[in-house]
Structure 1
Amino acid sequence: VYIVEFFFTTCPSICPVMNTNLVEIQEEFRDFDDFGVASFTINPEYDTPRVLKEYAEKYGINDMDWHLMTGDRQEIYDLANIGFNIFAAENAGVPGGFEHSGLFALVDKNGYLRSRTDDFGNPIIYYRGTISESQGENNEGEKEEISILKEDIKKLLSE
């Protein structure tokens, strides 16, 4: 069972919140051998393995099953936008030079994306990673989804 995210180390906005939320999840699920996090940088030209290691140290990313990864730029964008259908793009017109959704994908033990439904029966395929549990909701009234992500991780780990 693992969470997938797309981020970049020089992000001036949502990435610090996303990774702070993931560190909280890391701590809660540290003792589970079947749980991990896959973080892919969307700025591989800057985010070298050394930069990613420094970022991990800065944020307290220290679980051996949390992997911060870089690679071929086009392959990462294809993985994000086509493979996971989680938006990521370079955009010189936004702060930091990149845009991305701030969503987390949850993958089960068989490699399938897992989701849940909302109160109306509509699928919630991704989890909003940009609002902390303690914050509750953002200025636009969007509710945090870290708590339901944790519930779903627990469910998948018990399957």
Structure 2
Amino acid sequence: MPQGASNKKKYTYVWVSTIVLVFGIFAVCEITKRIKDGTIVENDRMAGTAIEEPLSFIVNNGTKRKVPPFAFYNQDSVLVTNKDYLGKVYVVDFFFTTCPTICPVMTSNLVEIQDKFGGQDNFGIASFSINPRYDTPERLRAYAEKYGITDKDWNFMTGQQEQIHQLASEGFYIMANEVEDAPGGFEHSGMFALVDKNGYLRSRVDAFGNPIIYYRGTITEKQGVNKEGETQQITMLKEDINKLLLE
């Protein structure tokens, strides 16, 4: 091989190596910077996609699921209906004040939601007691005071037990049953439902394009994951509330 060609090839290798080295240094610096700033996440591409995509409607038999009519009295003995939530993005849960298991965590998570979005005219929370025979407005008010609930649009509601259980099972497909041997006498789901300003149930989709439908309310952001390996979804819920508020 001619000497000039050999030198040219050697210089090409050096030039390519230099470019690779420079880009490598730049990438390491950028990652280091983001770690220090606390902005790096487990999967940036997936997280970004989830935030940017519009939320899905929950559809049954080709029909978008909408919150059915309801009318119950809240902690201030004021009648609250589904119409009071029209124009608001809101979170729904089913609980009871004497629950010894998941309800305290669920309520604490909703307090964090309140602290982030409460006070906005287009946001609210609807909590339905599945033990309304015990959970009178007075007891619901004491419960709200215990947890520091200040948002005027967070209603703790009570009424006829059969109607509330029917709303849970048929309106939201959320389990709520009176079971004698269960802790506190009731079994219920620890899921939150998210409703848009027009009363439709909404959620993001999973990796297969299916709506997740509900958000796990029994794990805190700080806890991150439970012993069964399920991850917290409160961060996800906050992102999706904000998305609906901007629609």
Q: Scaled by the length of structure 2, what TM-score is found?
A: 0.64
Letter in 1 for 2:183: P
> Which has the larger share of helix?
2
Q: 2:123 aligns with which of 35, 38, 42?
A: 35
Q: 1:24 aligns with which of 95, 107, 112?
A: 112
- Partner SS state of residue 117, structure 1: coil
Following TM superposition, where does structure 1 have runs of at least 4 consecutive aligned residues deviating by more than 4 angstroms? none
Q: Which has the higher contact order (CA 8 A, sep 6+)?
A: 1
Separation (CA, whole Å) in 1 of partners of 2:173 and 2:150: 28
Separation (CA, whole Å) in 1 of partners of 2:119 and 2:186: 34
Separation (CA, whole Å) in 2 of partners of 1:61 and 1:151: 21
Larger radius of gyration: 2
Letter in 2 for 1:122: N
The number of residues matched between the two structures is 159
Q: 1:7 aligns with which of 95, 110, 113?
A: 95
- Partner SS state of residue 183, structure 2: coil
Q: Which moved further from structure 2: 28-37 or 67-76?
A: 28-37
- Counterparts of 1:64-83 in structure 2 under 5 Å? 64-83=152-171
Which residue in the other structure is 1:62 paired with? Answer: 150
Confirm whether residue 99 of structure 1 aligns to residue 224 of structure 2. no
Q: Percent identity?
A: 68
Which residue in the other structure is 2:11 paired with? Answer: none
Which residue in the other structure is 2:198 paired with? Answer: 110
Letter in 1 for 2:179: N
**Structure 2 runs not aligned, ≥5 long:** 1-88
Separation (CA, whole Å) in 1 of partners of 2:151 and 2:100: 24
Letter in 2 for 1:85: Y
Separation (CA, whole Å) in 2 of partners of 1:57 and 1:93: 29
**Structure 1 runs not aligned, ≥5 long:** none
Separation (CA, whole Å) in 1 of partners of 2:143 and 2:184: 16
Which residue in the other structure is 2:207 paired with? Answer: 119
Q: Scaled by the length of structure 1, what TM-score is found?
A: 0.98
Letter in 2 for 1:62: T
Q: Cα RMSD between the aligned structures?
A: 0.7
User: How far off its partner does 1:104 sit?
Assistant: 0.4
User: How far off its partner does 1:122 sit?
Assistant: 2.5
* CA shift digits 1:85-115 (9 cap, x unpaired): 0110000111100011100000000100001
Which residue in the other structure is 2:73 paired with? Answer: none
